[in-house]
Amino acid sequence: MNAIFRRGSKSICLSLLILFAATAQLSAQTTNDQPAADNNSTNDQIAALQLQLTNAWLQVDAIVCQPVPAFRRDPGYHVAVYSFWFDPGAPTPDFNRVDVRQSQDLHYLKYPWVSSDLTPNMMFRGADLEFNEMTKLFYTNRDLPKKKLTEAEMLQINSLYRTIGHCQSEIQRLQPPPPETASADSPDENDSNAPPKAIAAIERIPQPTRIRYGCIAIGTLLVLVVVARLIKKKPRSQ
């Protein structure tokens, strides 16, 4: 009877160990699959933010680059002529804080009619024009002057700027950090002190999972030992 039980106990213990190993492997696989799902979710968020940023950017561009009423240049009019409309380059606004109303420049107002060497056959009313350092980034066509924006249009740009700034910050936050360069202290595959792959695989299993299954296995073994001792003490029948 004891021999049969011992063989059964060994089989049970072996089965428990196999079950524990399989469960640990499954837990490790689930843990490894989780980052992939999180990565897909992060990519979706970044794509949505990028779309929102692009839409806001195009809306600002449409407001800033509205066509300005142009007239045929007539020799009978006194026209102030500029060599060009805008200097090269443009600063990047602080999208989260800037107020484009504060940087609106209406210096064209002092001239009833203005033109440029870039538009020799056209003239524009000075009252229709503006220059704004904080919207210059969106001046896609610099051969023509820019329309004077209304208060409502500038407030709309401020709101769109906040959207752009928010999206840029969130995309930067969600972007994965740059890959770290391998340091001299990192274990190499050929290093004899590097942990074996089996141990490394176990270490990747979350600690609560290892503790839970370890306790189950130890508790089961203790129960088997107690039962074996009780059967061993039981008197044999004659």
C-alpha span between 187 and 185 (Å, rounded) = 6
C-alpha–C-alpha distance, residues 162 and 168, integer Å: 10
pLDDT: which is higher, 28 or 62: 62
Side-chain half-sphere of 211: how many Cα atoms within 13 Å? 3
Output Rg (C-alpha) for the chain, integer angstroms: 37
Q: In this structure, is the dihedral angle defined by the CA atoms of residues 32, 33, 38 and 44, taken in order, positive or negative?
A: positive
Stretch 103-117: mean pLDDT: 96
d(C-alpha 227, C-alpha 95), whole Å: 73
Read off the pLDDT of residues 58-91 as tens digits, 9 standing for 90 and up: 999 999 999 999 999 988 899 999 999 999 999 9
Q: How many CB atoms lie within 10 A of CB 78?
A: 8
Q: Can you spell out the DSSP letters for 77-100?
A: S--EEES-S--S--PPP-TTT--T
Least confident of 66-75, 170-179, 193-202: 193-202
Q: Residue 237: which pLDDT band, with cuts at 50, 70 and 90?
A: very low
**What gap in Å lies between CA 64 and CA 136, rounded to an integer?**
9
Residue 4: band (very low, low, confident or very high) from pLDDT cuts 50, 70, 90: very low
How many whole angstroms separate alpha carbon 125 and alpha carbon 111? Answer: 8
Question: Which has the higher per-residue pLDDT, 116 or 22?
Answer: 116
Q: How far apart are the first and last CA of the chain?
A: 14
Of residues 73, 168, 186, 55, the one with CA closest to residue 125: 73
Beta pairing partners, 115: 81
Report the predicted TM-score, pTM, of the whole model to 2 decimal places: 0.61
Domain residue limits, the chain: 1-31+204-238, 55-174
- Give dist(CA 129, CA 148) in Å, integer: 5
Q: What is the pLDDT of residue 212?
A: 64
Those residues whose C-beta lies under 8 Å from the C-beta of residue 203, and which sit 6 or more positions away, are 195
Look at 161 and 12; give whichever has higher pLDDT: 161
What would the pLDDT profile of 134-169 be if each residue is shown by its tens digit? 999 999 999 999 999 999 999 999 999 999 999 999
